[in-house]
Amino acid sequence: MNQLAETQSLQYHPLQAMLYQEMHSRPYQVVPCPALITHYVLLTDDHQKSLQFSHLQKLFEAFEQEVPECDQPNLQFEAQGFRVRREVHLEFSAFTFINFNVDPKNPFDKGGLAELPDNWLNELPGTVLSNFHVALQCIDDKDQQLISNAKSLLEGYRLVGSSPQNGDARLWTSFKQHSDGYGRFLIGNVLMSDSQIGRLTQRIIEIETYRMLTLLALPLARENTAKLNAMDAQLVALTNQLACKGVFSEQEILLELTEMASQVEALRSRCAFRYSATFAYYDLVLKRLSELKEDEVSGHLSLSEFITRRLTPAVNTCRAANERLESLSLRIDRVSDMMRTKVELSIQAQNQQLLTSMDNRSRIQLMMQHTVEGLSVAAISYYSIGLLKYMIESFDVSGLPVTKYQLVGISVPLVVASVWLVTRKVHKRFKKMAD
């Protein structure tokens, strides 16, 4: 009792309950045999997810189930031998419809959607990326009719199959869209329980879902490759032009590099999420394939062999396009830096020439200034002597041994020397201020 009281005083993280529940947000289903599972994967945005929830609430009402008030990552109900499950992911939503009332001999005839209200599926918001059936049948380990049945049920397409879970089941598919517009998987249960077959079915569903999501980036990579080829050739031409000692317009080259850089950044912003999602989905596909623990069936490709044979090159193509895009961006940056360095050196050379020219003009101005100073001394002396002459003529110099004209003549060198000394003093003062 004391321990309970002590723990009640602790402060718990507000996300603790949510983090515990996260591990159980998408539990595996328990699926008995026989059954037909129809799975839809729809690409959706946030608005479409909200509309999907409202549309799903109508389905709860149609089957007289308790209608959920808030949307959740996983919602499901079961009624009248029919189960509906919706899972919300980052960029898609998944709807799983399980019909337990199926004919084991013709499981794909009735379809897993037979119990849905009319037009409910047609009004479902989102863009369908993948839709397929998974038929579950009970067989024994000596059932030799399964292969012939699989060929018939898969409409004669080439079979891809294996014995997953170390031989406890048989799995057949064609990875084709059939006449009804759906993909088809046929699983024969030998020794697996309902929980085990539910987990196996969930792995198959996730493999097919993530396989399609992985391939979404392949058309984008092919489209980008053509653009990257053109930009790569353009960058090579610009680099060769810079390497040659020829005359070229630095401004035009910088303009071309800027346009290329903007195009590359636009491609990167467009493709970054898609490429990173592709690599993440590919890792999930490989993980789910390893969890199948497949045994080969003589004469047929297993799911792991078939999927990795084509999916791995597709992912490598996307990875190469992504790496090439990053490489092109770095190369453009290096050429741009080289071009900027070249422009800066050119600007520095022009500045050096400008400074040299300014220095020469300063010398010329200094020489002109000295010349003007000499003329200014003469002009100031001339006007000063004129003023001094008027002053001398206004005085009576009869008592002096010199005449007024002689005094004016004597004052001329004195005035000139005084003006010259004052001018030099002023010049030295300004030079000192400049220094």
Do 147 and 283 lie in a common domain? Answer: no
Mean pLDDT, residues 79-101: 92
What pLDDT, on a 0 to 100 scale, did the predictor assign at position 207? 95
280 belongs to a structural domain = yes
Mean pLDDT, residues 139-152: 72
Q: What does the mean pLDDT of the chain come to?
A: 85
Do 235 and 162 lie in a common domain? Answer: no
Do 113 and 255 lie in a common domain? Answer: no
What does the alpha-carbon distance between residue 133 and residue 218 come to, in Å, rounded to a whole number? 25
Q: Which domain holds residue 231?
A: 217-352
Do 227 and 243 lie in a common domain? Answer: yes
Between 434 and 182, the more confident residue is: 182
54-to-85, 158, 321, 340, 433 alpha-carbon distances in Å: 15, 41, 40, 57, 84
pLDDT tens-digit readout, 32-49: 888 999 999 999 999 999
User: In sequence order, what are the residues at sequence separation of 6 or more whose Cβ sits closer than 8 angstroms to the Cβ of residue 268?
Assistant: 325, 326, 329
Give the residue among 278, 275, 302 at the shortest CA–CA distance from 290. Answer: 302
Cα 348 to the center of its chain, rounded Å: 38
Do 228 and 179 lie in a common domain? Answer: no
User: In sequence order, what are the residues at sequence separation of 6 or more whose Cβ sits closer than 8 angstroms to the Cβ of residue 319?
Assistant: 275, 279
144 belongs to a structural domain = yes
pTM (two decimals): 0.76
pLDDT tens-digit readout, 325-349: 888 888 888 888 877 777 777 778 8
What pLDDT, on a 0 to 100 scale, did the predictor assign at position 407? 74
CA angle 114, 118, 124 (to 5 degrees): 95
17 belongs to a structural domain = no
Do 273 and 366 lie in a common domain? Answer: no
135 belongs to a structural domain = yes
Do 251 and 359 lie in a common domain? Answer: no
Do 54 and 189 lie in a common domain? Answer: yes
- CATH classification at residue 316: 1.20.58
Mean pLDDT, residues 275-287: 95
What does the alpha-carbon distance between residue 361 and residue 143 come to, in Å, rounded to a whole number? 106
What does the alpha-carbon distance between residue 321 and residue 324 come to, in Å, rounded to a whole number? 5
Q: Of 325, 352, 379, which one is at a domain's C-terminal end?
A: 352
Q: Of 330, 352, 374, which one is at a domain's C-terminal end?
A: 352
Give the residue among 60, 58, 107 at the shortest CA–CA distance from 79. Answer: 60
What pLDDT, on a 0 to 100 scale, did the predictor assign at position 15? 87
Mean pLDDT, residues 92-116: 85
Do 254 and 400 lie in a common domain? Answer: no
Do 347 and 359 lie in a common domain? Answer: no
Do 348 and 319 lie in a common domain? Answer: yes
Strands, E assignment, 89-232: 92-99, 127-138, 160-163, 169-173, 183-189
5 belongs to a structural domain = no
Q: Provide the 10 A C-beta neighbour count for residue 222.
A: 13
Q: Of 194, 225, 246, which one is at a domain's C-terminal end?
A: 194
Between 428 and 93, the more confident residue is: 93
Residue 2 has pLDDT above 60, yes or no: no
Give the residue among 106, 103, 110, 105 at the shortest CA–CA distance from 38. Answer: 110
Q: How many domains, the chain? A: 3
Do 79 and 225 lie in a common domain? Answer: no
Contact 81, 100 (CB under 8 A): yes
Structure tokens at 140: 């024994």
pLDDT tens-digit readout, 176-230: 999 989 999 999 888 889 999 999 999 999 999 999 999 999 999 999 888 888 8
Residue 431 has pLDDT above 90, yes or no: no
207 belongs to a structural domain = no
202 belongs to a structural domain = no
Structure tokens at 277: 């999602």
82 belongs to a structural domain = yes
What pLDDT, on a 0 to 100 scale, did the predictor assign at position 10? 82
